[in-house]
Structure 1
Amino acid sequence: MMDVLVVDDDFHVAEINAAYVAKTSGFRVVGTAHTALQAMQMLDNRHVDLLLLDHYLPDRSGLELVRGLRQRGIRCDVIMVTAAQDVDIVEAALRYGVLHYLVKPFTFDGLRARLESYAELRRTLRDASGGSWRGQQQIDRIFGTVRTPADAPAPPAKGWARPTEDLICHVINQAQVPLSAQEVAARAGISRSTAHRYLRHLQDNGSLQLSLRYGDAGRPEHRYAPAPQRGQDR
């Protein structure tokens, strides 16, 4: 069970957010705060896994609170839930290690997706610390868990077609070795630019894995192969 502190200056909004958290399996609300000072006092006196934090607080901003936590060595993960959409604020949130940034107003499903991805992150980190570390593959999985379904890569917009994607996957799966974009294009009977666009999309969504082959000179050649199935050794 993960302990959550809800911080919002609006009492009604804090109650709603707390109710959303309580409805999500694996999470419990251990308190609500309406100022940065109240939140800091609660964090000083009890363990909190996750801070559900608004940016606009009456005494100091949410990100100022996060900066104070980091300076004091308080280890608490943060999901921002705020109406603030300024690029500078979003950039600062990234720099302070905020895991998710959810813009108000949002639905229960929107918050639940972020909470569930956070729970998956914690499970993945726990598994890794238990001795199942697998290098880059494990690191990629850890970073991938902070993405939600809404963050999944979109298909290529211009001229995208499912049959072409299926054809490229078939070509890659039938090959005995990783293929370059040029080789995929030749075998599929499509242009190299089209092959490259689809290959990048398939790599982004985890269907393919990228490797580099270095020649005597020039840039390394990108080569693509089917991504290993989860739990399958390389």
Structure 2
Amino acid sequence: MIEVLVVEDDPRVARINAAYVAKVPGFRTVGAAASVAAALAFVEEVAVDLVLLDQYLPDGTGLDLVRRLRERGRHTDVIMVTAARDLATVQAAMRLGALQYLVKPFDFAGLRAKLEGYAALRRSLAGGGEAEQAEVDRIFGTLATAAAPVGLPKGHSPTTAELVRQVLLTAGGDVSAQEIAERAGLSRQTAQRYLKLLERTGRVRLSLRYGETGRPEHRYVWVPTGA
């Protein structure tokens, strides 16, 4: 069983998240903590494989908790589960080693996809030994692929697709290909290529915005699962 700690200061949300975890085979919630201090104390006493981590806590932030865990030599895996949509937080979470980032509100299917991707990653790493480049690429793409709606065509990177997806999720509305490219650190051509792919699979909705020149601007918005 994969042991999960839910770090969330809203008791109702913590109960919902724990209930979601219980519905995914192979996972079990071993505790809940409502603050950075409580989470640190829990991890010192109980073996935890994965932390589902909110960013907004009464005595600090979720990222503060990750930093302090790393300072103490704790390399517990982390999936951010938060309403924080700003790209600075998303980027900081990536740099601190968060394996996934799930934006509130979300449904059970959204969390299940993250957990199943995490379980697949653990299975990939369980054997130890060495890996060829193809195996390394597959491991790095495991979590991103789990969140993608379909398999990616040849020549498309799961990591890049996930980066575009995260920008769309945190945009708070429709955005242009140029805006996505700038926020994701990609070329405009690359952003457009992935946006067209996601549009074809139904995960992105395209709309046209007409300006003074009469030439419409393409705007993109992420389509939630089940929408």
User: TM-score normalised by the shorter chain: which range applies?
Assistant: 0.5 to 0.7
Q: Distance in 2 between matches of 1:150 and 1:25?
A: 18
Aligned to 1:188: none
Offset, 1:154 = 9.1
Aligned to 2:71: 71
Aligned to 1:202: 154
Contact 1:113–1:148 at 8 Å: present in 2 too? Answer: no
1:57 equivalent in alignment to 2:54: no
Which is higher, the Rg of structure 1 or of structure 2?
Answer: 1
Helix, strand or coil for the counterpart of 1:144?
helix
Offset, 1:6 = 0.2
Q: Letter of the aligned partner of 2:155 in structure 1?
A: Q
Q: Letter of the aligned partner of 2:57 in structure 1?
A: L
Q: Distance in 1 between matches of 2:157 and 2:70?
A: 33
Q: Distance in 1 between matches of 2:111 and 2:58?
A: 24
Aligned to 2:23: 23
Q: Can you give the 5+ residue segments of structure 2 that lack an aligned partner in the other structure?
A: 159-227
Q: Can you give the 5+ residue segments of structure 1 that lack an aligned partner in the other structure?
A: 156-200, 207-234
Q: Letter of the aligned partner of 2:9 in structure 1?
A: D
Q: Letter of the aligned partner of 1:86 in structure 2?
A: D
Q: Distance in 1 between matches of 2:83 and 2:101?
A: 10
Helix, strand or coil for the counterpart of 2:155?
helix
The TM-score, its normalising length taken from structure 1, stands at: 0.64
Contact 2:22–2:28 at 8 Å: present in 1 too? Answer: yes
The TM-score, its normalising length taken from structure 2, stands at: 0.66
Aligned to 2:148: 151
Divergent runs of 4+, >3 A: 148-155
Offset, 1:134 = 3.2
Structure 2 matches for 1:106-117, cutoff 5 A?
Answer: 106-117=106-117
Contact 1:114–1:148 at 8 Å: present in 2 too? Answer: no
Q: Distance in 2 between matches of 1:53 and 1:64?
A: 11
Q: Distance in 2 between matches of 1:105 and 1:83?
A: 7
Offset, 1:149 = 4.2
The CA RMSD over aligned residues, in Å, is 1.8
Identity of aligned residues (%): 55
Q: Distance in 2 between matches of 1:40 and 1:134?
A: 34
Q: Letter of the aligned partner of 2:118 in structure 1?
A: Y
Q: Letter of the aligned partner of 1:97 in structure 2?
A: G
Aligned to 2:38: 38
Contact 1:55–1:61 at 8 Å: present in 2 too? Answer: yes
Contact 1:153–1:205 at 8 Å: present in 2 too? Answer: no
Offset, 1:151 = 3.2
